[in-house]
Amino acid sequence: MENIMKKSVALLLTLCLSVGLVGLAAASDTAPPPEAADRTTADGSKPLVVGTEALSQKFNPFFADTAYDMEIMDLVFGAFVDVDRQGNPILNGTGGEVRPYNGKDYTYYGQSDLAINFDKTANITTYTVKLRDDIKFSDGTPMTADDVVFTYYVLLDPAYVGSTTTSSYDIVGLKDYRTQTTGDIYAKYEAIAGAILSAGRDHAWAEGDTWTQAQQDAFWALADTRWAAACRAIVDYVLANYLNDEYAATIGVTAAEISASEGLQIAYGMAMWGFGEVGEGATVFTAKDGKTFDFAKGEYPTIQDYYDATFAAYGGDGEAFAATEHPDQDAGFVNGVARDEFIRAQAADEPELAGGIKNIAGIKKLDDRTVEITMNGFSAPAVYSVFGVQIAPKDYYGDGAYDYDANNFGHPFGDLSVVQAKTSAPMGAGPYKFVKYENKVAYLEANEQYYLGAPKIKYVQYKETLIADMVPGLASGAADVANPAFNKTTAESIKAYNANGQITGDAIQTSLVDNLGYGYIGLNADTVRVGSDSASKESKYLRTGLAIILTAQREVAINSYYGEAASIINYPISNTSWAAPQKTDPDYKTAFSTKLDGSPVYTAEMDEPAKAAAALAAAVEYFKAAGYTLDEASGKFTAAPDGAKLEYEVIIPGGGAGDHPSFGVLTEAKNVLATIGITLIINDPSDSNVLWDRLDAGTQELWCAAWQATPDPDMYQTYHSSGIVGRGGSDSNHYHIDDADLDQLIVDARVSDDPAYRKAVYKSALDKIIDWAVEIPVYQRQNCIIFSSGRINLDTLTQDITTFYKWYKEIEQLEMK
């Protein structure tokens, strides 16, 4: 089964969570297909049942983070500005826009019209978006410009930590609003904060300092607050991922006792992270700094005690603490956040900022249906990332105090709790309204207010389904639509159910389109490194050594799993993108095919055994350069350099059964690495949320996944350093790649509309990612959607489904037989 992880408007990352297709039973097999559920509702309607992989149940347009949840959000909300079958934005949606595709003219409708004007002299781009006059939310409330403004103020609030990257665009006045200061004042206090930080915690303030004693005290008090918050976050992470009786016994209690006691929870978190222990058979907990707490006397550590123990261990070095003990927050979490909070607090006392920055100057409501957004400069991906959002009703998601003229935008500045609370019952203006989630089924009902008319199918059910059950489920009547991974086994199973022996026939119709995405193996730069510098040449050598071995196993494994339904790729970008390097390009290279001395690993005359030997030899040289100790006699590494290991874990979501395209890559790489003394532990959990949680926490080492993107190849969300988990950005830079040059390349590629220039810049960015060795590109596959030929009126199905135009885009016209 393919695992695909996170989503956003800029880059959709889907998480696939269940067992895949190995051993899938065909119609003639002894294993019976799933039984059909009761397919008739109380009013006699036939629901459309969609077999889906596990839902994360974050049914919120701002915070949903798997593609399965987001598909439901698409049906509940629709897109503010959508795209056509070729991935081009629909700019005149209110009246309909006719565009040709595949020899036919198609009319596209949408929620709005979008006009774009770039003033080269002023270097300002103005976007004017106008809502259609007949659009309503499912409760009958008209969608207005105020709902649009509310939505943007959620996405642009400094407390927003979803994966959408709208805040990364240079909207006029946005930085002033988010920092609550002007550029000059921000720079003033940024310099003061930097000077205090450089002086250090132990600095004794003196008259010659450029800051006051009060400012110094305020800064370190904020840093201490953030440090204590990090300790609390570690405790919460431990409780969420490692609470069981076996581990609880290490402090002499049970998991149930820990769950019932705040003090025991903190003690447990400290013990699991090595900052305290209970002696065997004893009840006294001893913290790493020497403090003792007798559980028998009701004495328990507090978060302050946890803070004290970590502070003593790290000598007050907040960056070292955050990077080592709480890697998802990365270096700068403690002092970096304290700096930002310090700047805001200090700037608030400036007379010219009395009352703060009330609004974002570049977002204006022109009338009840029109909003204008102005940006400094030009950015090619903005039309997708800024306007491909989902508009949420302010009266439902807000705090009830929205007042545009009074600069009240539906939630307190810096507090989105009221928005986050609406996670289980979304409401939007799409073709369907959300009813409930129950027993692993999401129930939807036709939206009678939908601007294109109420859907002909009244009910839709998204039913969590094992991948292995999707094809037989359609054949049995348990589902009508599904999206299984398409490989040899899937194809043969579909053919077995169709009388004509083809993948489209009397039982099942199959739609295949190129996937705007690709499969990869990721390496976390902050957990796979030498020493404490993820960017050092030694850290890159370590990761490159692993990458060479893994890359060398791709072809056999992927061909075995997919056959002709997938191909090997050599750059971390989908081959469907116009920016993807082509084999005919003069500087095109096979991924990780360069030796330490710069010469090629492989030569044209090498056969497969020779290539395998060459890859191993090249990897050994990289490991040696990274600082690993090689026993020449045995040919095995016997010691790792400081910060590195002889053993690494890779998480692959194969449903506990090894059912994943890259599983064969890992098993063979494990065997090869073992010959040189390095152990690769393959963790294939039955519950793929294990991977999801580890990625959220930033504690993974290696993992297997796949990206799914939008038409523009913007890399900001996934590779810009602001997207590293815990930095307040997209939280989608799971690689923890932090490279100023790469950041600049990503920004440079945004500000041009010249495809040739952008492609060249993206090529440089791709080379930089390969240099860091944090991502191994593996395969490009096809998407497979299957439909029940017997229960769906296929004449009413969306025609010419493409990579960009999904099967449900015209779902209001779909009919059951």
Rg (CA), the chain: 28
Token pair 């009352």 is found at: 355
Of 140, 144, 127, whose CA–CA distance to 368 is shortest? 144
Q: Assign 728 a pLDDT band (cuts: 50, 70, 90).
A: low
Q: Assign 471 a pLDDT band (cuts: 50, 70, 90).
A: very high
pLDDT in tens, 119-164: 999 999 999 999 999 999 999 999 999 999 999 999 999 888 777 8
Predicted pLDDT of residue 38? 52
Contact between residue 364 and residue 171 where contact means Cβ atoms under 8 Å apart: no
Q: What percent of the chain has pLDDT over 90?
A: 68
Query: Can you give 213-256 as a three-state secondary structure string?
Result: HHHHHHHHHHHHHHHHHHHHHHHHHHHHHHCCHHHHHHHCCCHH
Q: Assign 326 a pLDDT band (cuts: 50, 70, 90).
A: low
Q: Assign 57 a pLDDT band (cuts: 50, 70, 90).
A: confident
Specify the pTM.
Answer: 0.71
The two three-digit tokens of residue 569, written as one number: 């790729």
Whether 35 shows a pLDDT value over 60: the answer reads no
pLDDT in tens, 488-512: 889 999 999 999 999 999 999 999 9
pLDDT in tens, 167-212: 989 999 999 999 888 888 989 999 999 999 889 888 999 999 999 9
- Three-class SS state of 773: coil
Predicted pLDDT of residue 726? 66
Q: Which range, of 12-21, 224-233, 487-496, 752-761, averages the lowest pLDDT?
A: 12-21
Whether 36 shows a pLDDT value over 90: the answer reads no
Q: Assign 712 a pLDDT band (cuts: 50, 70, 90).
A: confident
Q: Assign 772 a pLDDT band (cuts: 50, 70, 90).
A: very high
Neighbours of 362 (CB within 10 A): 22
CA–CA distance, 765 with 719 (Å, rounded to integer): 9
Q: Which range, of 13-22, 292-301, 800-809, averages the lowest pLDDT?
A: 13-22
Predicted pLDDT of residue 25? 27
pLDDT in tens, 217-250: 999 999 899 899 889 988 988 887 788 888 899 8
Predicted pLDDT of residue 118? 94
Whether 15 shows a pLDDT value over 60: the answer reads no
Q: Which range, of 21-30, 366-375, 467-476, 700-709, averages the lowest pLDDT?
A: 21-30
CA–CA distance, 486 with 636 (Å, rounded to integer): 40
Q: How would DSSP label each residue in 163-228?
A: S--GGGS-BTTHHHHHHTS-HHHHHHHHHHHHHHHHH-TTPPP-TTSSS-HHHHHHHHHHHHHHHH
Whether 34 shows a pLDDT value over 60: the answer reads no
Predicted pLDDT of residue 30? 29
Contact between residue 464 and residue 687 where contact means Cβ atoms under 8 Å apart: no
Whether 1 shows a pLDDT value over 50: the answer reads no
The DSSP bridge partners found for residue 783 are 513
Predicted pLDDT of residue 19? 24
The two three-digit tokens of residue 517, written as one number: 């995405």
Q: Assign 27 a pLDDT band (cuts: 50, 70, 90).
A: very low
- Mean of the per-residue pLDDT values for the chain? 89
- Amino acid in position 318: G
CA–CA distance, 661 with 519 (Å, rounded to integer): 8
CA–CA distance, 32 with 10 (Å, rounded to integer): 42
Whether 279 shows a pLDDT value over 60: the answer reads yes
Query: Can you give 549-610 as a three-state secondary structure string?
Result: HHHCCHHHHHHHHHHHHEEECCCCCCCCCCCCCCCCCCCCCCCCCECCCCCECCCCCCCHHH
The two three-digit tokens of residue 26, written as one number: 């065909």
pLDDT in tens, 665-707: 999 999 999 999 999 999 999 888 788 788 888 889 999 998 8
Contact between residue 592 and residue 551 where contact means Cβ atoms under 8 Å apart: yes
pLDDT in tens, 798-807: 999 998 899 9
Predicted pLDDT of residue 104? 94
Whether 330 shows a pLDDT value over 60: the answer reads no
Predicted pLDDT of residue 407? 96
Of 714, 750, 766, 752, whose CA–CA distance to 587 is shortest? 766
CA–CA distance, 6 with 725 (Å, rounded to integer): 12
Q: What is the mean pLDDT of residues 315-341?
A: 70
Q: Which range, of 52-61, 336-345, 548-557, 624-633, averages the lowest pLDDT?
A: 336-345
